[in-house]
Amino acid sequence: MILLVHGMRKRCLSSSGTSKAKFGPSQQSQCRKNFDLKYLDQKRYQSQSPLARRLNQKGVDAEETSLDDQLAKEKEKQVRTPWHREGATKPPVARQRSAGAMTKGKLLTTPSRLLKLIIPLTTVDHNSDRKDIEPLALLVHPQQPLSYLERLIQSELPSITTDKSENHIPKVSFRAVESKSDEIKPKTKTSDEEEKEDVVKQRPSRGGPGEGGVESYSGLGRESEGELKDAEFVRWSASTEIGDFIRDAARAKEFEIEIEGQEEPVKIGVPSFNDRTYYLRMRLRKTALEIMDLAKVKYECDMLAHKGGQRLALAGFGIMVGWWYIVYRLTFETDYGWDTMEPVTYLVGLSTLISALNLTVSRRQQKLYQQRGFDVARWDQLIEEGNALRKEIKAVAAEYDVDWDEKADEKHATVTKALRDERKKTQSDKKSKKKDDDEDDE
């Protein structure tokens, strides 16, 4: 280090372009002092640089450790809830509630006969304001249990922490209205209803506490005008089918989904009978219109074929009269006699005439169908589809305990008659087939 300082001194003196002899004692002393200060600063920096490096490395290690801990926590949550939504673990932030914030859910029907549940789910929020909640859509089948829907909702919820600092998935329960008087009361009572209550006090059909009775249902759902203030909500078992739960909940406008950790339950609007069967009835109306158009063509073809058959029947009657005259002559005026002509008369004459008449009408119908552009296969398909839709709507009507006016959706008596005739034909075929099977078993 001393040699380095002397070298630096020599370079300083040589760079000035002046020899040592030209420097005075004061100038040489000042130059030596400057080099000594630089030497001390450099030595102090070298002694402190390892400490600074250690402090810097310590901060980097702490940051990496914190990042590893956060990644481990996120991986643990993903293992616990693999369908966890992104951003559900973010801390709640107080924001202004937007006008489009969704506070109630709704249950919708789909063309695929599934139910679409739209429910607003949010993380645990301790703020007083309401955030703009992103709704969640779930597709369920009416025959699936409530436990399946419960698992779907739980997979979208963040875990909560108990008083013992234990994390677990929040519980989800479903509650529907259980009215005391077996129906939701209207807002106001008419004078006639008040008089009836004064005259006769009828016992409710559901019975009192500890008594049996008859449960009543309604298909109004969200279309009902009753109040839910005095109604009692009861919790339903998770093994209940979703369709049965909705049927019972349809007596009121909505049902509740209670989620553990949230202050208020989530209200869900209940679909009415018209909502549940909307797509089915629309398809039935569309099918009925096609059946009506084809029924007109079929009716015209059938009428022309039957008129041709009637003309042929008149001609056949004349032929039959001639036939009986020939039989009379051969029976009584020849040696054949009645013993020979009797089987010929019944087996040959009448059966041949009926078969020819039937065959002629059928061929005439098929020929007219081709000429008028009537598709028999399409007709059979529409009739089968119409009866299938009608059967499904009837099943939903039985669930909601409502009377469905099928003529309003079938639109025309011709369509109703065509569907009824096909059902009768199918039932008769099933009965005959069952009878044949019973005879074979015997």
Least confident piece of the model among 43-47, 174-178, 422-426: 43-47
Structure tokens of 86?
A: 């992104």
In the prediction, which pLDDT does 310 show? 75
What does the alpha-carbon distance between residue 289 and residue 93 come to, in Å, rounded to a whole number?
Answer: 56
Q: Tokens 């109630």 — which residue?
A: 104
54-64 pLDDT, tens digit each? 666 676 677 77
What does the alpha-carbon distance between residue 338 and residue 344 come to, in Å, rounded to a whole number?
Answer: 10
The mean pLDDT value for 256-266 works out to 86
278-332 vs 351-372: helix axis angle to the nearest 10?
A: 140
| Model confidence band, residue 307 (pLDDT cutoffs 50, 70, 90) | confident
3-class SS of residue 164 = coil
332-390 pLDDT, tens digit each? 777 777 777 777 776 666 677 666 666 677 777 888 888 888 888 899 899 999 999 99
93-148 pLDDT, tens digit each? 444 444 444 568 888 888 887 889 998 876 444 444 444 567 889 999 988 999 99
Distances (CA, A) of 439 to 265, 433, 434, 436: 62, 10, 9, 5
What dihedral do alpha carbons 278, 282, 287, 292 form, nearest 10°?
Answer: 120
pLDDT over 50 (residue 169): yes
Q: For residue 126, which amino acid is it?
A: H
The DSSP symbol for 185 reads: P
| Model confidence band, residue 24 (pLDDT cutoffs 50, 70, 90) | low
In the prediction, which pLDDT does 204 show? 46
* 137 touches 162 (CB < 8 A): no
pLDDT over 70 (residue 392): yes
Main-chain dihedrals φ then ψ at residue 118, nearest 5 degrees? -110, 115
In the prediction, which pLDDT does 13 show? 47
3-class SS of residue 99 = coil
User: Please, where are the H alpha helices in 25-169?
Assistant: 25-80, 146-154
The mean pLDDT value for 179-186 works out to 48
The mean pLDDT value for 12-19 works out to 46
The mean pLDDT value for 427-431 works out to 74
In the prediction, which pLDDT does 50 show? 63
In the prediction, which pLDDT does 151 show? 92
User: Please, where are the H alpha helices in 89-229?
Assistant: 146-154, 191-199
Q: pTM for this structure?
A: 0.53
In the prediction, which pLDDT does 201 show? 41
In the prediction, which pLDDT does 355 show? 67
Q: From 166, 156, 356, select the one nearest 257 (Cα to Cα).
A: 156
